[in-house]
Amino acid sequence: MSSFEREPGCGLAEHVDQVIEAAFADQRLVGAVVLVAHRGQWLYRRAAGLADREAGRAMGEDSLFRLASVSKPIVSVAALSLVDEGRLALDEPIADWLPAFRPRLADGREARITPRQLLSHSAGLGYRFLEADADGLYARAGISDGMDLPGFDLAENLRRLASVPLLYEPGRAWGYSLATDVLGALVARVDGRPLAEALRQRVGIPAGMRDSGFLCADAQRLAAVYVSDRPRPRRMAERETVTPFEDCVGIRFEPRRAFEPSAYASGGAGMIGSAGDVLRLLEVLRQGGAPLLTPGLVEEMGRDQVPGLELPANPGFGFGLGFSVLRDPAIAQSPESPGTWRWGGAYGHSWFVDRARELSVVALTNTLFEGMSGRFVNDLRDAVYRSAELR
């Protein structure tokens, strides 16, 4: 990405600026970094607003963010690199590598979970925060979603996860879940190094992602966290539960996790990184995968792995190996091309890659949940597609 040059502007900057300024005027966002690449060139890049409102610290293009579920494609790529090397097989049981992780079905039968099912969130697992109340199975087992400081390690969290019956038979349904945390443990086991080091060597260094990891090394670059509220977003408390959707108990956040060396490496939610790093990874994948993956695995990553299964909160979308895949733009009411990749993160992030249009867009914000699932997300998408540069 360092070789990118800005294309001549004729509309996109004005459209995207309007979306960002409207979000600030309505006090829906505190700060954001928005990057747009088209055909391997910068089309737009802007850091706007405040990284820390109380300190008066401006957002910078190099600001760091708690990535939340933007961690998932990074860990997914690392797993697929092991598939490329023949050290991991997508359709073999993960018990071959993680013999202690053997969750059973509700009727007590053994279940066969594969790496493909972990990558596509069809493994029968769930998330504690998606339970309807505080007396759910995951809550009673004390399972962590990877955003708090539970006081135990990943092995203990997986032991607790395996003690709870699967929500459905693997491969028979889709459910957003802790599958990428299990995948992270699988990557570490097969690679032979701690997950942080495996990701650095397999993804970070070859993709030029200098800022990505599980611990924040520079507090002055890390964006503070804000929660959508009225009349304006409020700073998140150090230990707070916030509900992203109706009818769920909510996510337990502890932002200081970013500085805690004892916090386990949550492959699904625990990484720190910059918008530039995320865009670098997405552009590598969009352009075929080298030097991270072979083109065939990138194609498989972007193929809908759960045809016929519905994503409840994402009509018109299926799911690939690490992110959602657009099936039907009409149902999704989206200008994106069929096959577009998309996902986000609970701390206030969204991204998408439209390979048909040679387009990658990353928007990392410090305001949840506006930056993940609020009006800003679709406003930004629509502004990009309205622009003359993409016609």
Model pLDDT for residues 17-69, shown as the tens digit of each residue: 999 999 999 999 999 999 999 999 999 999 999 999 999 999 999 999 999 99
CA angle, 83 as apex, 340 and 122 as ends, to 5°? 55
| Backbone φ and ψ of 290, nearest 5° | -70, 140
Spatial contact of 279 and 37, defined as CB atoms under 8 Å apart: yes
Active site residues: 69
Whole-angstrom distance, CA of residue 73 vs CA of residue 86: 20
* pTM score over 0.85: yes
SS3 for 338? coil
Query: Measured between alpha carbons, how far is 315 from 368 in angstroms, rounded to an integer?
Result: 22
**Distance of alpha carbon 199 from alpha carbon 188, whole angstroms:** 9
What is the DSSP code (8-state) at residue 101? -
Residues of the chain with pLDDT under 50: 1-9
* Single-letter code of the amino acid located at 385: Y
Classified as helix, coil or strand, 63 is: coil
Name the DSSP letter for residue 3: T
For 222, list phi and psi in degrees, rounded to 5. Answer: -80, 125
pLDDT of residue 388: 74
Pairing type for strands 31-38 and 41-52 reads antiparallel
Handedness of CA 258, 261, 262, 266 (dihedral sign): positive
288: left (phi over 0), alpha (psi -120 to 50) or beta: left
Rounded Cα–Cα distance for residues 142 and 145 (Å): 10
| Rounded Cα gap, residues 249 and 244, in angstroms | 9
8 A C-beta contact, residue 373 and residue 387: no
Q: Where are the domains of the chain?
A: 66-351
H or E element: which one contains 47?
strand 41-52
Residues in contact with 131: Cβ distance below 8 Å, sequence separation at least 6, in sequence order: 137, 138, 139, 248, 249
Amino acid 4: pLDDT: 32
Q: Which residues pair with 31 in a beta bridge?
A: 49
CATH number listed for the domain at residues 66-351: 3.40.710.10
Residue pair 129/250 in contact (Cβ under 8 Å)? The answer is: yes
* Confidence (pLDDT) at 1: 38
